[in-house]
A and B are shown apart, each in its own frame.
Chain A
Amino acid sequence: MLVSTALVLLMTPALGFFYAGMVRSKNVLNTLMMSFVPLGFVGIAWALAGYAIAFGSGFFLQGVGLEAKGSIPHVLFMAYQGTFAIITAALISGAIVERMRFVPYLAFVTAWSLAVYAPVAQWVWGGGWLARLGALDFAGGTVVHVNAAVAALVVAVVVGARRDYGRQAIVPQNVPHTLLGAGLLWLGWFGFNGGSALASNASAALAFTNTMFAPIATLCVWTLVDLVRTGKATAIGAATAIVVGLVAITPAAGFVSPLSAIALGAIAAFPSYFALLWRTRTRLDDSLDVLAAHGCGGIVGALLTGVFAQKEWSGGASGLLFGNPKQLGIQAAAVGATIVYSGAITFVLLKAIGLVTSLRARAEEEGIGLDVTQHGEEAYSRGEGAILILPEGGR
């Protein structure tokens, strides 16, 4: 569990690189910071209040000690769950890169982690109503991915499209970063899914194995679809496929057989692939396709969990294929409830922050780029024309 916690924490910087590779060079640092800074702010919010809301202990970590929670110490459980809150909030940033101001973004993700993530986590993992209903979500297909993707859709609509979107070509600044990010996300995801067994046991081994094989299947299918459609297998496509496969297996990891995981990963490629193509023809500037990758992948994964779950592997519930059609309905209810709740509260939070300050950067700031205007740094600076300012009273 110690290793799993560290692996999941690594996913957030990895996500930063995955995203930052796909923006223009004038917005790289801003995109990275949108993943890095939730590590701080969402992390604090989780410790002070989020954990209490989601898992019913006291605020300010009252009652979180060294005693066992399941098979691991309570403090470790709290830290492990905290890494999930952080990555979920950071996922949203892919929808609003290159235009949202940094301070309102920080306020939004911090508030979102308390008002949306923590309650939804309570429903599914904290003994809430979806848990009682019997919804299966092994590592967060609904809680993390559908939840973040719906928020991403809403924030993309409320903040609005980039001014250059649909007017001029916006091309990725560093595709190798995106591939590196996808690779590190895969590594981290072994902690995300494997660790969600909350013990080093057979269930963890199953989740680990499925986390390896579902993305493998998605990667194969995606590459083949790419080849058939355009005659070329794209690198960003491969990186996306890995993430889609990982998202899709997340809710099912500890409930399905490895062969089902391969089928699930293969099926998951299609909705996301075509959602991506559809999205670029619309005015919806979900810039890095959080909805297509995490929304479609998450929903497909959550529903297919209700199809492929198997008592022999899950040690409990079965799905449609194994004699329990009702499970599919429960899965759909969990997805539906998350979509409605996350969508509504995200909208309210954004409007509330929008009353205090403007959410998006001015036209000229967007033109110059958010690295210089929001952070006062450049990602790839040559240093030409830079004049050193000596500190007052120095030397």
Chain B
Amino acid sequence: MKLIVAIVRPEKLNAVLESLYRAEVRGLSISRIEGHGGETEQVQTYRGTTVKVGLTEKVRLEIGVSDHFVDTTVQAILASARTGGVGDGKIFVLPVEKVYRIRTGEEDQAAVTPVNP
């Protein structure tokens, strides 16, 4: 199993979710984060105060998948999250030592395989 962590633009989140749905990737969680990925800083002015905003809003997706699903998932994100500009984000693929499904106690591959309702 692998844990895929993807950082994407918030405005691309819907496109990514749709693309993952089409690729039949079902289980994931997201969080709203702020980060810096080399994009040009936004300069904002409030009356006489000028500030440089170094952190941009991003969305982090975390997806646990079985090994043969890694490529599908990564390709789905790559295709849907890209705009071509700096700040499109990153995808990290991490090894996972152990996975449990809390409801059933299933382990590893069985725990990340979606159940058929």
Are these two chains actual partners, yes or no? Answer: yes
User: B52: which of A363, A367, A372, A389 is its contact (CB, 8 Å)?
Assistant: A389
Please indicate which of the listed interface residues B12, B14, B42, B83 has the most CB atoms of chain A within 10 Å of its own CB: B42
* A388 and B42 in contact, given A367-B11, A368-B11 (Cβ under 8 angstroms): no
User: Which residue of A164, A168, A372, A385 is within 8 Å of B55 (Cβ)?
Assistant: A385
Which of B12, B34, B43, B85 contacts A376, CB < 8 Å?
B43
CA distance A217 to B34 in the complex (A): 48
Q: Which of A168, A372, A376, A387 contacts B14 (CB 8 A)?
A: A168
- For chain A, residues 129 to 167, give those with C-beta under 8 angstroms from any C-beta of chain B: 164, 167
In the bound complex, do residue B14 and residue A167 qualify as a contact, i.e. CB atoms below 8 Å apart? yes
Which of B43, B46, B48, B85 makes the CB contact (< 8 A) with A364? B85
Q: Is the CB of B52 within 8 A of A364?
A: no
Q: Which of B11, B50, B51, B53 contacts A391 (CB 8 A)?
A: B50
B34 adjacent to A364 (CB under 8 Å) = no
A384 touches B34 (CB 8 A): yes
Q: Check A385/B54 contact, CB under 8 A, given A376-B45, A377-B45.
A: yes
Tell me the smallest distance from the CB of A94 to a CB of chain B, in Å.
22
* 0/1 string, B96-113, CB within 8 A of A gives 1: 000000000000000000
| Contact A386 to B52, CB < 8 A, known contacts A372-B44, A377-B45 | yes
**B26: Cβ under 8 A from any A Cβ:** no
| A and B contact pairs by CB, cutoff 8 A, 18 listed | A164-B14, A363-B83, A364-B85, A372-B44, A376-B43, A377-B45, A384-B55, A385-B55, A386-B52, A386-B54, A387-B52, A387-B53, A388-B49, A388-B50, A388-B51, A389-B43, A389-B51, A391-B50
Q: A378 near B: Cβ within 8 Å?
A: yes
Nearest-neighbour CB distance to chain A for B110, whole angstroms, equals: 34
Binding site for A on B (CB under 8 A): 9, 11-12, 14, 34, 36, 42-46, 48-55, 83, 85
Select one of A168, A364, A367, A387 contacting B51, CB under 8 A. Answer: A387
Min CB–CB distance B34 → chain A (angstroms): 6
Docked CA distance A378–B52 (Å): 12
Kindly identify which residue among A364, A368, A377, A384 contacts B44, using a CB–CB cutoff of 8 Å: A377
CA distance A367 to B42 in the complex (A): 15
In whole angstroms, what is the CA distance A377 to B12 when docked?
A: 22
Contact partners of B52 in chain A: CB under 8 A: 386-387, 389
Residues 360-373 of A, flagged 1 when their CB comes within 8 A of B and 0 if not, give 00011001100010
A363 and B85 CA atoms in complex are apart in Å by 11
The complex places the Cα of A389 from the Cα of B50 at a distance, in Å, of: 6
| CA–CA, A391 and B50, complex, Å | 8
The CA of A151 and the CA of B78, in the complex, are separated in Å by 41
Given contacts A364-B83, A368-B11, contact A376 B48 (CB under 8 A): no
Nearest CB of B to A181, in Å: 24
Chain B residues with CB below 8 A from A364, complex form:
83, 85
Residue among A164, A167, A378, A385 with the highest chain B CB neighbour number at 10 A: A385
Q: Which residues of B contact A386 (CB under 8 A)?
A: 44, 51-54
